[in-house]
Amino acid sequence: MLRATGVSKSYGGETVLRELSLDVDAGEIVAVIGPSGVGKTTLLRLLSLSSEPDEGRVTLDGTDAWAVDETERLALRRRVGMVFQEASLFDASVARNVEYGLRVRRPWGDRLREGLRSVVGGNGTAEAVRESLDVVGLTDETDQHAESLSGGEAQRVSFARALAVDPDVLLLDEPTSDLDPRNTAVIEEAMDEARDRGIGVVVATHDMHQAERVADRVAVLLDGGISEVGPTERVFEEPRDSRTRRFIDGELVY
Amino acid sequence: MPFESATQAIVALSASPALVDLSTLLGFPTLLDLPFREGYVSSIVYVSLYVSLVAVTLSTLFSVPIAVVLGLTDFPGKGFVKSVINTGMGFPSVVVGLVVLFAVSNQGPLGSLDLVFTREAMIMSQFVLATPPITAISLAAVSGVDRGVRDAARALGGTRLDVALVVIKEARYGIATAILAGFGRAISEVGSVLIVGGNITSADGISKTRTLTTAIQLEARQGQYETAMVLGAVLVVLVLAVNAVVVRFGDRGVQ
């Protein structure tokens, strides 16, 4: 579904990714593992269609995102959701945060009317908003202000916010690296739920145990390229690439 | 010539001793017997508010989009643009008045509009004075918005305009402060409004281009301390009231 083919990306003369290929299909979780600073975030930025590769193509259902005009690219971009390492919630209620993606997809006339109505007395909560908050177990916090949430809850709202627009692909960039085990478990369950809904999930993580727990496939990102990609169990049990083996055994230290 | 009429107006004004008790004006009894001409103070307040509010509104519509664009984009020379704006905050207002007066004078590029000693000319100079603080403080507020929030808005399918709106919303307290600072500078301004407006009242004592500040200056010079003090109090209360309104609006949020 979402596919990067031979993509390269440099920043300030330094090559971060070199002719890398990766794809994700509907209803699977692909974990991208690799040491910190190896370019996982850069790869996710390419996959989210927010950054153009220097070389190579990123396609969604066969459409090259950088060969079409901006309007079409926006339409493609809106089928790909993303959750960042930091929740970065808007200074608004939980419901307003989760609803944001739905709101920007509506025509301006409707948005203005809603804005006026919310000044007068509130709009109620959309079904999609309640459903997504249910996935992360936060339906009771709908009317709370984002600032009053704990870090873990904020990240769960951030997940619900990305899920609310029902994307085809969900990209998660180190979504649990700042979280405690309980909130981590909630996010991992939510990934499962997203997969069950037929969403293709890509999660970048430096936590190999998390990759083992959640992923159907694992891609190992080392030195700007994918050193190995395959079914989770196979990659962890019998890595074919010697660098992958050393990384998994903890010998390859960066 | 407006000049002549201004002089006539001032002469007529200082010559007419028609005094009204403050209680008549404010509608309640007072211990002070202050020398007031009918409608004098209210017309001055009106001119002050009209000129400052129009100027600050226009400046906000001009400055905030510039601040947002500057805050969200990177280009060579951005640091220079910022330092020009910051320099503008300290620009001598008398010089601004002088330049605007020249611009609208017979020799100036806007001479044909006949704007010397008019409220429109005052609005122009107030606009020039209010724009640097509004832009600079808004820019600081916009630059202070977490990059992650912008990325999130974009990742959730926002267009460039959506991202800009999110940034404005997140920076709303800072932008409110910026508008206040601009209003504070405009309503307290003396030198430039005196130069371009001329501190004129009509023969019946109603303000044409006389503002609170220029009136205070004139009354104080004429030894009318009570009138000057009342005008000063009105000015302080106005500034306080506008502050309170903006703070309250900011608290409610623009959600």
Secondary structure element (H or E) that encloses residue B41, with its range: helix B40-72
In a domain, A13, yes or no: yes
The C-alpha angle A192, A195, A198, rounded to 5 degrees, equals 155
Give the mean pLDDT of B204-212: 91
The ipTM of this complex is 0.90
Question: Which of A89, A101, A158 has the CB atom closest to B157's CB atom?
Answer: A101
**Average pLDDT over chain B, rounded to whole?**
84
Q: Which residues of B touch A91 (CB under 8 A)?
A: 169-170, 253
Interchain contact, B156 vs A162, CB within 8 Å:
yes
B114 and chain A: CB distance < 8 Å anywhere? no
Please tell me which residue, B178 or A252, carries the higher pLDDT value: B178
Q: Which of A157, A218, A190, A65 is nearest to B156 (CA)?
A: A157
In a domain, A155, yes or no: no
Give the mean pLDDT of B103-120: 92
In a domain, A135, yes or no: no
Q: Which residues of B touch A50 (CB under 8 A)?
A: 151, 154-155
pLDDT in tens, B26-39: 554 444 455 566 68
Substitution target from B151, B154, B156, B163 for chain A, most A beta carbons within 10 A:
B156
In a domain, A126, yes or no: no
Residue A104 Cα, gap to closest chain B Cα (Å): 6
Q: Provide the whole-model pTM.
A: 0.81
Give the mean pLDDT of B47-54: 95
Interchain contact, B155 vs A162, CB within 8 Å:
yes
Domains contained in chain A, number: 1
Per-residue model confidence (pLDDT) at position A253? 53
Give the mean pLDDT of A192-213: 94
In a domain, A194, yes or no: yes
In a domain, A180, yes or no: yes
Separation between Cα atoms, residue A164 and residue A138, nearest integer Å: 13
In a domain, A101, yes or no: no
Separation between Cα atoms, residue A208 and residue A42, nearest integer Å: 19
Give the mean pLDDT of A30-42: 91
Give the mean pLDDT of A50-58: 94
Does the pLDDT at position A254 exceed 80? no
In a domain, A103, yes or no: no
B11 to each of A26, B200, B231, how far by Cα in Å? 86, 11, 20
Residue A73 maps to which CATH number? 3.40.50.300
Range of the domain at A242: 2-90+167-248
Separation between Cα atoms, residue B141 and residue B136, nearest integer Å: 9
